[in-house]
């Protein structure tokens, strides 16, 4: 596990909002290149790492996708040196006041999200949650200097540093979904020296939080025989303890529902049981809210599954995951790829 932690902490220290993933994409490309037969970026900026199989051509191929983009903010107005903002992705305004941020203007500028005191807000807001349109980002600079360095449309990322917690857990922004990018990296590490029958494409996709464009275009371009989305799901924690949540550090989660191909779900369960990898099943009566939906509905339709890592405090700057769940996901995915053969294509029937 120590081998993946420095890489994960790097990912959690980098910007890479939806549509602006280049900084984190470069770091992923650098790490994946020695582990893969070929690494390339798509026209939209997703990173694809290929491991070529040894079976007769044309070989079937498996696509494993984890999105690398993050939620954040964007500048909408500059007023007397202070910045009004809007959300990029699903940002809860309750977590914003007091947050340190980085404004990516003509240079990277440290800032803080602030709110007026209640007496200066509209009466209907009162002492409740302050909507994002009433929040500001303060850069601590004179108004004239802000005008020179910041433009409307500049993006703003969270600036909290990753923190190792007790119990082999880590907290930070963007663990949704860079924890799963780390899991794909573990998968690539476990594939070293092993032979595949199928071709495997491991993808760090763009724009999942806003459009799912990365997974949709990657699936359409590569036309895989099957696809697996690797993402995070809700871990149990304060106020989150019902059937929709899962124990942190107690194993991975396999989704089940109309977004999930039955044959893939069964195979992942079988391998997890054989490898003694603990897992739970997440019931998703609609699509999973992950890249799986975009891949399943690409082209003529692609058999798809979802492997998830439990995460606390989703879409906040202090998301928490267990490192051993990242390792478990990577091991399971590597073993799944190694066991793909010609016979499995016959099992891909919806039953």
User: Residues 36, 116: one domain?
Assistant: no
* Per-residue pLDDT tens digits for 186-212: 999 999 999 999 999 999 999 999 999
Cβ contacts of residue 313 below 8 Å, gap of 6+? 237, 319, 320
Rounded to a whole number of angstroms, the distance between the first and last alpha carbons of the chain is: 37
The pLDDT of 43-55, averaged and rounded, is 96
If asked whether residues 284 and 220 sit together in one domain, one would say: yes
What tens digit of pLDDT does each residue of 242-255 get?
989 999 999 999 99
> Could you tell me whether strands 199-205 and 61-67 are parallel, antiparallel, or unpaired per DSSP bridges?
parallel
168 inside domain:
no
In this structure, are 285 and 341 located in the same domain?
Answer: yes
Q: Residue 102 pLDDT more than 80? A: yes
Range of the domain at 139: 72-158
The residue to which tokens 């909408």 are assigned: 76
Share of the chain above pLDDT 70, in %: 99
Rounded Cα gap, residues 174 and 191, in angstroms: 26
Catalytic annotation, pick one of 29, 124, 127, 208:
208
Q: For residues 12 and 14, what is the distance between their CA atoms, to the nearest angstrom?
A: 6
Q: Is the pLDDT of residue 277 over 70?
A: yes
User: For 124-159, how does the pLDDT look when each residue is reduced to its tens digit (9 = 90+)?
Assistant: 787 788 999 999 999 999 999 999 999 999 999 999
Q: Based on the structure, what is the number of domains in the chain?
A: 2
Angle at CA of residue 88, ends 220 and 203, nearest 5°: 30
Which pLDDT value is given to residue 1?
44
* Distance between CA atoms of residues 48 and 332, nearest Å: 20
Check: pTM over 0.85? Answer yes or no: yes
Residue 194 and residue 262 in one domain: yes
| CA 341/CA 345 separation, integer angstroms | 8
Residues 234, 260, single domain; the answer is yes
Does 208 qualify as catalytic in the annotation? yes
Do the domain assignments include residue 115?
yes
Q: Are residues 282 and 304 in the same domain?
A: yes
């Amino acid at each position: 596990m120590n081998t993946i932690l420095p890489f994960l902490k790097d990912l959690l220290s980098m910007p890479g909002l939806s549509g602006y993933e280049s900084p984190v994409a470069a770091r992923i490309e650098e790490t994946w290149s020695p582990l893969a037969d070929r690494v390339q970026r798509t026209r939209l900026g997703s990173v694809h790492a290929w491991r070529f199989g040894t079976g007769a051509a044309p070989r079937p191929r498996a696509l494993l996708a984890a999105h690398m983009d993050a939620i954040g903010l964007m500048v909408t107005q500059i007023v007397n040196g202070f910045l009004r903002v809007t959300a990029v992705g699903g940002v809860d305004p309750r977590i914003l006041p007091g947050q340190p941020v980085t404004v990516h203007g003509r240079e990277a500028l440290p800032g803080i999200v602030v709110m007026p005191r209640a007496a200066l807000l509209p009466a209907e807001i009162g002492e409740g949650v302050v909507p994002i349109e009433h929040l500001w980002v303060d850069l601590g600079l004179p108004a004239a200097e802000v005008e020179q360095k910041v433009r409307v449309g500049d993006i703003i990322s969270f600036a909290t540093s990753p923190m190792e917690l007790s119990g082999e857990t880590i907290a930070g922004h963007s663990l949704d979904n860079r924890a799963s990018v780390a899991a794909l990296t573990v998968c690539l590490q476990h594939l070293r020296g092993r032979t595949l029958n199928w071709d495997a494409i491991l993808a760090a996709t763009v724009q999942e939080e806003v459009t799912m464009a990365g997974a949709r275009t990657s699936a359409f371009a590569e036309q895989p025989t099957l696809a697996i989305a690797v993402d995070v799901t809700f871990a149990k924690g304060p106020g989150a303890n019902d059937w929709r949540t899962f124990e942190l550090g107690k194993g991975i989660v396999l989704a089940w529902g109309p977004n999930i191909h039955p044959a893939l779900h069964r195979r992942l369960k079988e391998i997890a049981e054989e490898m003694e990898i603990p897992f739970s099943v997440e019931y998703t009566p609609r699509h999973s809210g992950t890249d799986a939906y975009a891949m399943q509905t690409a082209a003529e339709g692609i058999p798809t599954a979802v492997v998830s890592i439990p995460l606390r405090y989703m879409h906040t700057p202090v998301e928490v995951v267990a490192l051993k769940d990242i390792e478990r996901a990577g091991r399971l995915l590597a073993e799944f790829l190694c066991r793909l053969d010609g016979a499995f294509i016959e099992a891909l029937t919806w039953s």
